Every structure is written in structure tokens, then in C-alpha cells.
Structure 1
Amino acid sequence: MTEAAFRKMSEQDYLRLLECSDVRYEFIDGFVYAQAGATNAHNQLALNLALLLQPEARKHGCRTYQNDMRLRLESKNGQLTHYYPDLMVSCEPATQVAGTLHLSAPCLIVEILSRSTGRADKNEKWKDYQTLESLEVYLMVDSLSRNAALYRRTANGWDYEIVEDRFTLPRPAMELGLAEIYDGVPL
């Protein structure tokens, strides 16, 4: 998250702002935050993951969405929030509010961690993502080193797992490895 607007706005005003802006903004508790550009490593990781996930997602009637699809949710404190995760897989169709599309029921969210986003991705966003009943896995991939970790929903809550080499996803049902995710990424 980057610089916030200084005044609160309604969700409707936020959606109007998106219509007339080339900049992506996240909407958190009534405040807007401009999103910074991504590095080459970040872009390559996002592309690798999208190419790996999409074929399996389609086989199961799901879709993979990259960073231009918004996620709309009610945050832990009850406020409407809009994020732009780096990748999402959803088996539910996108919905429309005030002429703009968003997702509200992804089964997988991927955030690519950087110096500027890592803290928010691991803390504030993760707290909000846990409110999504549809979410099965939250995968965090580091853009500065060859490391990944995930949270997996279980019957008792969430299990945290550091990815050593390979891991499985429930939806799309598949196995992924660090070698595939980081293929061609200049680190």
C-alpha cells in the first residue's frame, strides 16, 4: 500500500474515481491508496504463476485473474474493502457493481511480496483475506529471494507452511514447485 488520500470517500465515489483514472487504487476503510508499479521479477513471477494455474483452473470450471481484477470484501472491522491481488483463482463468476467488475469469492489468492508491499501482504491483507469463506489457500511468493509460504484452510482454521520445494493446491487441483514458479526470474 502506498500513499493514502486524506479524506474518506464512499465506495460509489471510489468506483467513479476508477472510471476516470489510469492509476489503480485500492480502497481500504474508506481511503484510497495508489498502487506502485512492479519490478521485472514481480512481473515474471506473476506471468509464470498465471501460465501454470490457468490450464488446470479451466479444467475445473475456474478462472485465473491477474492484478487488474479487483477483490471486494468486507474487512475484519466491517468496512468494504477493494484490493488488487497479484493473482486469484475463482470458480465463481465476476460480479458487477456500478459498472465495474470484481471478484468476491476466490479459492486461491497469490501475492508477490516486495519491499514496499510485503508487510501489508503478510499482515493487513492476510487478516482481511481470512474473512473470505471461499478462500482455501493464500500463497505468498517473494520477489527478492527464492522463497514462498502459504496459508491453507483446514477444519480447525489455517495452517502455515513454508514451501521447501513442491506443494499441492486443492483448487485448481495440482502440484507446483519453486523451480517452475521462479523459472527465468532474475534474482
Structure 2
Amino acid sequence: MHTPQENPPHLTPEEYFLWQEKQLEKHELINGQTYAMSGGSVNHSRIAVRLTRMIDTHLDGSHCITGNSDLRINILGTNNYTYPDVSVTCDERDQTTSQYITYPCLIIEVLSTSTEAYDRGNKFRLYRQNPLLIDYLLVSSTHIAIDLYHKNEAGDWLIFNYQGGDRIKLQSIDLSFPIEQIYRGLNLLENEQI
């Protein structure tokens, strides 16, 4: 989970962009307050890299943009900015921005003990403000388990729980893959505390 700054500055987006450039760690901006992003485990990093690489390769040659944890998302209609682990936008409006994207169709968060409640709750509530978001993927970093929140054509969010032997289907980018592809070679026996 992100950690509030001691005596956090109340910033406008413009002030936030300038301030963030001078910081050693990344910060989200929520309702004018900055929140430091916590670091991740080896598994967290490896899973995020695999997903980013697989998705970027799949979308190669398209007009879509695949982002890693350095790409901010502006929550539509707000001055809030977050850093998901992986994101994809195929919207033309995001082709000309340099500081962030606003219209992702896919957002992925790799879970850890300290971020899971935030990623499933308040962060997902923020992300759902975007009408173009179709898939929100939550990936465990401690065991083989992935939850997919998928918005159907009626606008309802459905949840799909995947485990070993399952195949993940991301309709937002027309990609399907076996769950084991993400977890191969990882040490999943440790209950990592982050």
C-alpha cells in the first residue's frame, strides 16, 4: 500500500509533476495529497516484467501503448494520479500526452500483503471511473492465483478467479495465456511480507 508523506504537501497536478521529478521514489497524487509507493519483492518484479513483456510483444505493431510501473494514470475527471504495475491504452487521446495516460482499457496490479486491500478496494474504485476500462487484473505474488475483474457489454463488473491449470483471457487486448506462463520458475513457497 502507499504510505502518506509526513506533513504531505497539498499539490495541484502541475506542482505535483514538478515536485515528483525531484523525488527519489514515486508518489501517487490522491485528492491533492502525495503518497509514497512501497517497493516490491523479487516475485513482484519478475511477474510485472513478464506481463509487461508478454503484452507489449502481443501488441507490437498496433497503436496501443503498454506501460510499466513508471507510467502514471490520470483518473478520469479528477486530479488524481496512480502508478499501476502494468497498463494498456489504445485510445488516440493518450497518444499525445507525455506525463500520463487517462484512458486505459487494461490495468494490472501485482499484489503483495501491504497493497492487496488498497488494490482491491479504493484503487479499483478510482480506476472504475474510466468508462473505457475493460479488464482489471490482480495477480498474486505469493501463490498461483489471479483475479480478473471484467466489465461486460452491459457495464457490469464480473470476477473470474484463476488458479493452476487455468487459461487467462484478456478481452480488452484479445490475449489468452496459461497462468503458469507468469509463475514459471518463481519461489512461491515463501510468504513474503512487503
So what's the TM-score if we normalise by structure 2? Answer: 0.86
Q: Following TM superposition, by how much is the alpha carbon of 1:62 offset from its aligned partner in structure 2, in angstroms?
A: 1.4
Contact 1:45 1:182 in 2 (8 A): yes
Q: Following TM superposition, by how much is the alpha carbon of 1:58 offset from its aligned partner in structure 2, in angstroms?
A: 2.1
Match among 57, 60, 68 for residue 58 of structure 1: 60
Map Cα deviations across residues 55-81 of structure 1 (whole Å, 9 max, x no partner).
Answer: 21224431211000000114xxx6421
Which residues of 2 match residues 12-91 of structure 1 at below 5 A? Answer: 12-74=14-76, 79-91=78-90
Q: Which residue of structure 2 aligns with residue 155 of structure 1?
A: 153
Contact 1:62 1:90 in 2 (8 A): yes
Q: Following TM superposition, by how much is the alpha carbon of 1:183 offset from its aligned partner in structure 2, in angstroms?
A: 1.6
Q: Secondary structure at the match of 1:135?
A: coil
Stretches of structure 1 that go unaligned for 5 or more consecutive residues are none
- Note the aligned Cα RMSD (angstroms): 1.6
CA distance in 1, matches of 2:172, 2:185: 25
Instruction: Identify the range of structure 1 (15-24 vs 37-46) with the bigger mean alpha-carbon deviation.
Output: 15-24
Amino acid at match of 1:169: L
Q: Which residue of structure 2 aligns with residue 103 of structure 1?
A: 101
Evaluate the alpha carbon distance shift between residue 60 and residue 172 of structure 1 in structure 2; reply closer, same or farther with a 3 A threshold: farther
Amino acid at match of 2:87: M
Q: Following TM superposition, by how much is the alpha carbon of 1:181 offset from its aligned partner in structure 2, in angstroms?
A: 1.1
CA distance in 1, matches of 2:24, 2:96: 21
Q: Secondary structure at the match of 2:81?
A: strand
Which residues of 2 match residues 116-131 of structure 1 at below 5 A? Answer: 116-131=114-129
Q: Following TM superposition, by how much is the alpha carbon of 1:166 offset from its aligned partner in structure 2, in angstroms?
A: 0.7
Map Cα deviations across residues 64-112 of structure 1 (whole Å, 9 max, x no partner).
Answer: 11000000114xxx6421000000011133443xxx5201111110000
* 1:143 correspondence with 2:138: no
Percentage of pairs with the same residue = 28
So what's the TM-score if we normalise by structure 1? Answer: 0.89
Q: How many residues align?
A: 181
* 1:132 correspondence with 2:130: yes
Stretches of structure 2 that go unaligned for 5 or more consecutive residues are 189-194
Amino acid at match of 2:102: S
CA distance in 2, matches of 1:177, 1:155: 25
Q: Which residue of structure 2 aligns with residue 185 of structure 1?
A: 186
Amino acid at match of 1:126: F
Q: Secondary structure at the match of 1:111?
A: strand
Structure 1 runs, 4 residues or longer, greater than 6 Å off: none
Q: Following TM superposition, by how much is the alpha carbon of 1:184 offset from its aligned partner in structure 2, in angstroms?
A: 2.1
Q: Following TM superposition, by how much is the alpha carbon of 1:5 offset from its aligned partner in structure 2, in angstroms?
A: 4.7
